[in-house]
Structure 1
């Protein structure tokens, strides 16, 4: 099922630069979104979110978690309480809700177009941060039309 792509001219330099800038910004926010989403999940499922749990679940060192949590604190997304672990600020809670909804939408879309659930979960981890609001809206429309058409 190989198709040859039509040759398209390069976009104007400023448009091209804007695309790359958007992707670099998505890369920067992806870590924060992943951390707050996991903290919210741990708080919901286990009643607490500890740095050691984040390190284990994200497959990174505790030093990496400590540095990232420090940045999240400076950004006003996470609070730490002595002997009590990590908590989300209202801004962190909102970011976690938004990230979770986006993740679930991308997973549902990928499954709807034929991907198995395990691969959809894995692929959504990257796609959810890089899909534009337009793309996410298109995914939602596709799913809504599909669900409406099935009734």
Structure 2
């Protein structure tokens, strides 16, 4: 079993520095809870992890299918509980493709393969929360 590790170092107040795959990320809280807003909060990074994981899968699969798109965005919305510990109860992924005469069937297949077979982040999240998705195609 492969192991991955990250380490964060406390900087000051609510700020931490993380090194991930050789890249530095500053995590911080908002001013109203003692932070200085120097970087993102941890929970939105969970949404980012899902968007990045499935987005990379879809791009890779579409390249193998020889499908060219003019643009591709992934949006992830998460519903947080009101009570502590605040946690996501639901995430919704929106896949937005831009192009002319895009093959809808191949796009759907690429998204399904990512969601059901390749994206480890969505596989893990699906065990804990509800995950839904939709595909939007914007004709150029």
TM-score past 0.5 threshold? no
Q: If the length of structure 2 is used for normalisation, what is the TM-score?
A: 0.31
Larger radius of gyration: 1
Q: If the length of structure 1 is used for normalisation, what is the TM-score?
A: 0.30
